[in-house]
Amino acid sequence: MKKTIFLAAGLLFSISAQAQINDIFKVVKDKTGVDLSTVKTKTSTNSTTTTTTTTPNSNINLGNLTSSQISSGLKEALNLGVKEGVQKLGVTDGFFKNETVKILMPEQLRKIDTTLRTFGLGSLADQGVKLLNRAAEDAVTQATPIFANAITSMTITDAKNILLGSNNAATTYLQNKTQTQLFTAFQPKVQASLSKVGADTVWKNMISKYNTFTGQSVTTDLNAYVTNEAINGVFKMVAEKETGIRNNAALRTTSLLEKVFGAVKK
């Protein structure tokens, strides 16, 4: 008798619980439109399951590219950027009339500019700035093999990440890896160019006049300053070219560039 009572109570409880669950399902469906009663239970099978990994950009397809191809494509883009950048910068006004890379007076000497103009020597300050740019324009013509060697010798172990990175990811990678070596190799050429265009003489005269007028003793390492600015100028041009290749199919002038950068459609 007791057993029968327990069974009946269990049945009533089950029916009541099911009713409550059904009521909950109905509320959820009314509020969200989701019918929980139709959710299917996942069954286990012995068959092999294929997992598909989604990426933020559904247009990426690197399946047919090897790491070697990606690395070669990135290096080709960088070499092309250096070649074209040097051609644009290594001419008269290549730096001076390009606001993106124009070399200004060193920050620590800008007070000289103001003082010289106060004493009516603005033309001397203008000539000094122009000659800094002339030195960079002269020196950068010899930069191509230096940059090319840096590009050739670099090892891209994370080529795919660079390819899938920002518009100038390869340029930034190269800059971070080679800035010190490029400075060491490029500095003697800048020093020679400073002397060749007469920038060192003009700046010595300008600083001498400033020190005479103000009673101060100002000095600066123009060679190091122009070297850094010239190298950064080339990298800016390389980054510009890399961005173009990534975003404009017309600039992918070889089959390798098209194959590598065409796999990542922005």
Q: What percentage of the chain carries pLDDT values higher than 70? A: 76
Q: Residues 63-92: what's their mean pLDDT? A: 94
* SS3 state at 254: coil
Domain range summary for the chain, segments of one domain joined by +: 67-261
Distance, in Å, from the CA atom of 44 to the CA atom of 64, rounded to the nearest integer, reads: 33
* Listed ranges 34-48, 143-157, 188-202; the one with the highest mean pLDDT: 188-202
pLDDT at 29: 52
pLDDT of 222-241, one tens digit each?
A: 999 999 999 999 999 999 99
Please state the pTM of the whole predicted model.
0.74
Distance, in Å, from the CA atom of 146 to the CA atom of 48, rounded to the nearest integer, reads: 53
- Residue 64: pLDDT band with limits 50, 70, 90: confident
| Alpha-helical regions (H) of 66-221 | 67-89, 110-118, 122-139, 144-153, 159-163, 169-196, 199-214
Which among 117, 113, 148, 73 has a CA at the least distance from the CA of 220? 113
Mean pLDDT of the chain: 81
CA distances, 19 to each of 15, 24, 26, 166, 260 (Å): 6, 9, 10, 56, 60
Looking at the predicted structure, is the pLDDT value of residue 35 above 90? no
Residue 81 CB neighbour total at 10 angstroms:
28
